[in-house]
Chains A and B, each alone.
Chain A
Amino acid sequence: MDTMTYTTQNIWTWWIALYLFFGGLGAATLTITFLTDMYCRPHRKLVLWGALSGVVLLAISSAVLFGHLLHHAAVIYVLNPLVFIFKPDSWIAWGTQFILWMMVWGMLYALPYMRETPFFQRIPLVRGMLQWPLVAWLSDCCMKRRRIVGWLAAINGIGTAVYTGLLIQSFPAVALWHNPGVPLLFTVSAFSTAFAYLLLLLNLFITDENDDDLRHRYERMDLILISTELVILFSFFNYTLSGSESGYRSAQLLWGDWGWLIGFIGFGLLVPFLLELKGVIKGWGSRLPTVAAAVLVLMGGYLLRHYFMYAGVYAYPW
């Protein structure tokens, strides 16, 4: 029993990295836009983009996971809200409910804005649905209880972002995953990628000059989150260097890989950090650097999860 075998896994690969990436990105995007609408200033376009992006991204994320299930019909057990009673210890159960309710509350929060937006009135089926008496009544209720609905969506959004890390943390055999830094890292990354995504929207699709304050605020927030992510990653580097063979081998896999070093740390974090830093301190003459930084942060967000899944090392005692 003194000999050990060290190996990575090929069970949860790129598709779970996509699930975690889209899940975290969608949830954080929705949360940020709703909080902006509630506490900065009402912003119909941002809420609509945020809510719809959140729902679409989470739908893609869930579809990726669903497509890889072995027994699709059994998913009904985890969609049942009573899952909390019989499986309160499973993070996938919590995550599924967070995702589900985030979508529901998210659409309800956006509903009053949808009803007054000409774009939705032009889509035949949607226009018809928005005029249903039940939908009109729901819309009025949500308008009256705006903050409650917004916070219900935001809490589920934050829950989804944190869940993506807790899920990976729940595998005890792998030192890289089973530590309290993972939920923190994934949550910070989710919100960083969401700010980057919103900066993309605010620079390419919602190009109102009145939103300059939002652009600066989001850029500053992203800068802080990227810095935090770098600090957490440095802690991970130190943590994996000693303490367990599993962790050490993960460190060798990650820090010896150019994709991680150059692709993620370099182009996914450091380059956008520097671009955004100059944007915050001195500003840029064009939108291109901000857009480039946002694209790089998004790419880095996926790479983080991709490499994390592939670098987890199991230690088998045989």
Chain B
Amino acid sequence: MTRYAMVIDLNTCVGCNACMAACAMENQTPVWKNKWRTYVHEKEIGTTEQVRRRFFPRLCNHCDNPPCLTVCPTGATYKRADGIVMVDPERCMGCRACAMACPYDARYEVTYDDIRTGKEFYGELQRQSPSMDKCSFCAHRLDKGLKPACVETCVGSARMFGDLDNPSDPVTQLVASGVAQPLMPHLGTRPNVYYIDDMKRKG
């Protein structure tokens, strides 16, 4: 059985935003209104000479216990056997309950206007219906044996992707070692995106 997970090393993310660009091209996200499936959050931490800029890549955490799936009234949000949380745009009525439920701010809306703009922006648009949208771990690429677009393009190798059910996978070993930690585990969402903290080294 496969159980996909991502580890993001905050020590090696340089904030180049190549992951955002690769994801936007791959998944045709509405970048014209600054909405992305993955987003590199920038924050200045510290004061005076101690100040530094931190880059924090964000995306859907593909939780094992996803609150966005529970609240979805139409069944548009569903989970694949490999753990990827998906959205069926045809089935999504766009009530936005998933966006309210997500503790990771991973959901955004795609409207009729976005579809019209998207056709001009991308030429040919894959989606036909408006819906809530989010990262799919590039499931269509995984099914072809490829890695997610953001992982493949990351210049600092900050993003690692693997199978938690494979003990020899480096991602599994990082997670098992405790170096890579999920975000807000106390919420009980059981995320499958893990972060290697940079604060201990730089802070």
Please tell me if the beta carbons of B97 and A70 are within 8 angstroms of each other in the complex: no
Please tell me if the beta carbons of B131 and A70 are within 8 angstroms of each other in the complex: yes
Please tell me if the beta carbons of A96 and B110 are within 8 angstroms of each other in the complex: no
* Residue among A11, A69, A83, A170 with the highest chain B CB neighbour number at 10 A: A11
Please tell me if the beta carbons of A11 and B100 are within 8 angstroms of each other in the complex: yes
A91-B112 Cα distance, complex, nearest whole Å = 26
Please tell me if the beta carbons of B93 and A69 are within 8 angstroms of each other in the complex: yes
Query: With A1-B195, A170-B101 given, is the CB distance from A71 to B94 under 8 Å?
Result: yes
Contact of B82 with A by CB under 8 A:
no
Query: With A74-B76, A87-B75 given, is the CB distance from A314 to B103 under 8 Å?
Result: yes
Please tell me if the beta carbons of A1 and B183 are within 8 angstroms of each other in the complex: yes
Q: State the interface size on chain A (CB cutoff 8 A).
A: 35
Query: Chain A contacts of B92 at CB under 8 A?
Result: 70-71, 74
A254-B91 Cα distance, complex, nearest whole Å = 37
Query: With A1-B195, A173-B102, A314-B105 given, is the CB distance from A83 to B73 under 8 Å?
Result: yes
Closest chain B residue, CB of each to CB of A93: B73
- What number of residue pairs across chains A and B have CB atoms under 8 A from each other? 118
Query: With A2-B203, A316-B105 given, is the CB distance from A9 to B73 under 8 Å?
Result: no
Contact of B155 with A by CB under 8 A:
no
Query: Chain B contacts of A12 at CB under 8 A?
Result: 96, 100
Query: Would you give the shortest CB distance from B13 to chain A, in whole angstroms?
Result: 12
A12-B184 Cα distance, complex, nearest whole Å = 23
Contact of A78 with B by CB under 8 A:
yes
A1-B195 Cα distance, complex, nearest whole Å = 8
Query: Chain A contacts of B187 at CB under 8 A?
Result: 172-173
Query: Chain B contacts of A83 at CB under 8 A?
Result: 73-74
Question: Out of B54, B93, B99, B181, which one reaches A71, CB within 8 Å?
Answer: B93
Query: Chain B contacts of A11 at CB under 8 A?
Result: 96, 99-100
* Residue among B100, B104, B112, B181 with the highest chain A CB neighbour number at 10 A: B100
Please tell me if the beta carbons of A92 and B95 are within 8 angstroms of each other in the complex: yes
Query: Chain B contacts of A170 at CB under 8 A?
Result: 67, 70-71, 97, 101
Query: Chain A contacts of B95 at CB under 8 A?
Result: 65, 69, 92
A12-B90 Cα distance, complex, nearest whole Å = 22
Query: Would you give the shortest CB distance from A241 to chain B, in whole angstroms?
Result: 19
Query: Would you give the shortest CB distance from B89 to chain A, in whole angstroms?
Result: 8
Contact of A90 with B by CB under 8 A:
yes
Query: Chain A contacts of B91 at CB under 8 A?
Result: 74, 77
Query: Chain B contacts of A5 at CB under 8 A?
Result: 43
Given contacts A71-B92, A170-B71, A317-B184, 15 further A-B contacts (CB under 8 A): A1-B199, A3-B54, A12-B100, A71-B89, A74-B76, A74-B92, A77-B76, A78-B93, A87-B73, A87-B74, A90-B97, A91-B71, A171-B100, A172-B189, A318-B41
